[in-house]
Chains A and B, each alone.
Chain A
Amino acid sequence: MLWADKYRPKDFSNLDYYKEQAANLKNLTKDGDFPHLLMYGPLGAGKKTRIMCILRELFGPGVERLKMEVMNFITPSNKKLEIMTINSSHHIEVNPSDVGIYDRVVVMDIIKNVAQSQQLNANATRDFKVIVLTDVDALTKDAQHALRRTMEKYISNCRIILCATSVSRVIPAIRSRCLCIRIPAPTEETIIEILQNTCKKEDLKLPSELAKRIAEVSNRNLRRALLICEACKVEQYPFTDNQKVPEPDWQVFIKKTADKILQNQSVETLSKVREDLYELLTNDIPSDIIFKTMLGELLKKCDASISARVVEEAARHEHRMAQGNKAIFHLESFVVKFMYIYQSMMQEMFAEF
């Protein structure tokens, strides 16, 4: 098992940071008036960990007996859908965006099913079940609208915990129905501390300089830090202060793509870039992360005279990308625009000589 999973704290008493918040969350679970929750924060900040702690606090260790189950749905247009769920006898977890634009059907059916099946177990500690919906910011507007009244109607025997990275993408009507809980990313110091603790549990000695460097490249993503640390161990043990810290593959890949764009602005480059972008997308790297990382790399080489314009164009294209469903078009059209702006700048610079 990966360290990130092996050492995932299982209940509130083992949480290593934001202890005060943990105490608050624990208070929240005490009575039957537990509200719907919306947990939001960056990747690897510990949202999922906290959700599992809450569930455990609500229902006891039973929530750790997890089953994977495929559920079947039929859309109004008679299309058959399958979706993977993880459940215990007290909760069910799904990522509705796994079925793309049909997410509404999944959300509705699951809630209705759960809401209608009472907890028959007489010694059940709670008379409600919990539905955990992950990646809520990726839900279609349609699915979000469908949640609105349903969340109110079935609240007596069904609570919903929503998990999102960006709360701005959740419609106000849903935010209004939840208690919104912000989960900030752990600081680098916290990450270093947790890396040290984890290594201690594994009986390893982690030099502080190396821990620091891992924390730096982890982007304050705790899961990533743990993965990198584990990868370092495979690469070379005993650790040394200055051993190589691997960057995530996709990040290196995007850097190379950006280099191509900066080196030569031509049709040939564009077709190579297109291949790269396809490669990234087919490997499930989210398009907004590609966009952001790429922009960061490109801006490093931009003169102050054009950077504002580049950012403005990026924002315009990213917005369109978020609306449409063909990310590749918008990524590519941004690259074309960038090439044009960049080339004009270079020409002007040379003209001055």
Chain B
Amino acid sequence: MEGFLKSGKLGENPEKTMIIMKSKTKKPKPVHWVEKYRPKTISDVVEQTEAVNVLEQCLTGADLPNLLFYGPPGSGKTSTILAAARQLFGDMYKDRILELNASDERGIQVIRDKVKNFSQLTASGVRPDGKPCPPFKIIILDEADSMTHAAQAALRRTIEKETKTTRFCLICNYISRIIEPLTSRCTKFRFKPLNEYLIIERLSFICDKEGVKCDDATLNALVETSNGDMRRAITCLQSCAKLNGPNRKITIESVLDVTGVVPNIWLFNFLKVCKKLNLSKLQCFIEKIMFEAYSGSQILDQLNEVIVNSDDFNDKQKAVIGAKLGEVSFRLLEGGSEFIHLLDLGTTVMKAYAIA
């Protein structure tokens, strides 16, 4: 009885819950496009050719080195390895892959036990259906940059000891957070932020499939703010398509709203206020931007663009402001208060105006 209650509640009895869900949802469930259009095979992966080439060779029988994928969010790291694993192992996918991410406990003990246990099981070179498959297992350590250095150190030995049966694939956003002895044991692949035109291509493809109308200018606006992050672009696309209700026509206004772009007038006014060299006016102005809830990092990105292209500053002034922009952007990422650091930037711009 208790077991029943428990399994019912925790969903450990998938069949049962499946039936309930099926009987309820007759029509196909609308899904998130990010998941729906996640590459199924590695040839679906846009760009990232180096990693794709190595994996393709592995598909044709070559050995696989230990891998380290690094790069910004939404550039395809997780998708690439998952797609490859599916292709390599087919139905045996579940037995051959161990995926550990930052949400799992990954202290030293876990690395020692879980990883060891998993890698010690031998892996044969044929699938149950007789087809050949690589004689090893893959351990995917997603978000490896959030592992403690101690755990990374423990991993070092494990990787060496288990090379016979196991390949590792480490994935992270920041390679600097991975200790050198680990990076040197892996073949490194940098996943670049995706090119704008490639994202546009993919988005138009999705628009076609989903029956969404979206003109080029709008797609451009969508992609411009995604900073090469395909996931962000797709999420925004789907949201815009829904926000406007059933007619499925995406307008440029809704795109700007969803992507959090700061209207240029705010940036020009920021510089204008700085030029007046009046600190209390500047304080008021920054306060006002904060009330609008524009993101500090977005303001910095756009301001950088404006200043670089501005004729109002000479090179020396641009250098002074540029240095501060870098510092402020770093400090914001580390959790600094937007008001104080934008004020700091403002006073620097004021100084730059004064040295003209």
B292 CB contacts on chain A under 8 angstroms: 182, 184-185
Q: Is there contact, CB below 8 Å, between A149 and B17?
A: no
- Decide if B53 is an interface residue (CB 8 Å cutoff): no
Contact with B along A261-275 (1 / 0, CB 8 A): 000000000000000
State the interface size on chain B (CB cutoff 8 A): 77
A118/B11 contact (C-beta < 8 A), A307-B347, A315-B336 known = yes
Give chain B interface residues in 322-349, CB to chain A under 8 Å.
328, 331-341, 343-344, 347-348
- Decide if A78 is an interface residue (CB 8 Å cutoff): no
- Decide if A10 is an interface residue (CB 8 Å cutoff): no
Instruction: Tell me the smallest distance from the CB of A42 to a CB of chain B, in Å.
Output: 6
Q: Is there contact, CB below 8 Å, between B9 and A120?
A: yes
Give chain B interface residues in 253-276, CB to chain A under 8 Å.
254, 257-258, 260
Instruction: Tell me the smallest distance from the CB of A216 to a CB of chain B, in Å.
Output: 13
A100 CB contacts on chain B under 8 angstroms: none
| A116 partner, pick from B11, B33, B35, beta carbons under 8 A | B11
- Decide if B20 is an interface residue (CB 8 Å cutoff): yes
Q: Is there contact, CB below 8 Å, between A150 and B101?
A: yes
What is the chain A residue whose CB lies nearest that of B21? A127
| A180 partner, pick from B74, B245, B258, B347, beta carbons under 8 A | B258
* Segment among A26-34, A48-56, A248-256 that sits at the interface with chain B: A26-34
A319/B10 contact (C-beta < 8 A), A35-B238, A176-B73 known = no
Contact with A along B236-249 (1 / 0, CB 8 A): 10110011110000
Q: Is there contact, CB below 8 Å, between A318 and B235?
A: no
- Decide if B107 is an interface residue (CB 8 Å cutoff): yes
A88 CB contacts on chain B under 8 angstroms: none
CA of A295 to CA of B25 in the docked complex: distance in angstroms? 57
Q: Is there contact, CB below 8 Å, between B25 and A179?
A: no
- Decide if A341 is an interface residue (CB 8 Å cutoff): no
A28/B242 contact (C-beta < 8 A), A147-B103, A148-B101, A177-B231 known = yes
Q: Is there contact, CB below 8 Å, between A27 and B102?
A: no
Q: Is there contact, CB below 8 Å, between A149 and B143?
A: yes
Most B Cβ at <10 Å: residue of A45, A176, A295: A176
CA of A31 to CA of B236 in the docked complex: distance in angstroms? 16
CA of A33 to CA of B242 in the docked complex: distance in angstroms? 9
* Segment among A61-69, A164-172, A205-213, A234-242 that sits at the interface with chain B: A164-172
Contact with A along B1-27 (1 / 0, CB 8 A): 000000011111000010011011100
CA of A178 to CA of B238 in the docked complex: distance in angstroms? 11
Give chain B interface residues in 98-114, CB to chain A under 8 Å.
101-103, 105, 107
Q: Is there contact, CB below 8 Å, between B243 and A27?
A: yes
Summarize B's interface: helix, strand, loop or mixed: helix
B101 CB contacts on chain A under 8 angstroms: 148-150, 153
B356 CB contacts on chain A under 8 angstroms: none
Give chain B interface residues in 76-107, CB to chain A under 8 Å.
78, 101-103, 105, 107
B336 CB contacts on chain A under 8 angstroms: 315, 318-319, 322
Give chain A interface residues in 194-239, CB to chain B under 8 Å.
220
| A117 partner, pick from B11, B78, B333, beta carbons under 8 A | B11
- Decide if A328 is an interface residue (CB 8 Å cutoff): no
- Decide if A312 is an interface residue (CB 8 Å cutoff): yes
Most B Cβ at <10 Å: residue of A42, A141, A142, A173: A173
Given A33-B32, A181-B258, 20 additional A-B pairs, CB 8 A: A118-B11, A118-B17, A120-B9, A120-B20, A145-B102, A146-B102, A146-B103, A146-B146, A149-B78, A149-B102, A150-B103, A166-B338, A168-B296, A183-B293, A308-B350, A312-B344, A314-B344, A315-B328, A318-B340, A322-B337
Which B residues fall within an 8 A CB radius of A?
8-12, 17, 20-21, 23-25, 29-35, 72-74, 78, 101-103, 105, 107, 142-143, 145-146, 173, 229, 231-232, 235-236, 238-239, 242-245, 254, 257-258, 260, 277, 279-280, 283, 290-297, 328, 331-341, 343-344, 347-348, 350-351
Closest 4 CB pairs of A and B: A315-B344, A145-B146, A149-B101, A322-B335
Instruction: Write 7 A-B pairs (CB below 8 A) sorted by A numbering.
Output: A32-B29, A33-B31, A149-B102, A167-B296, A169-B335, A299-B279, A311-B340
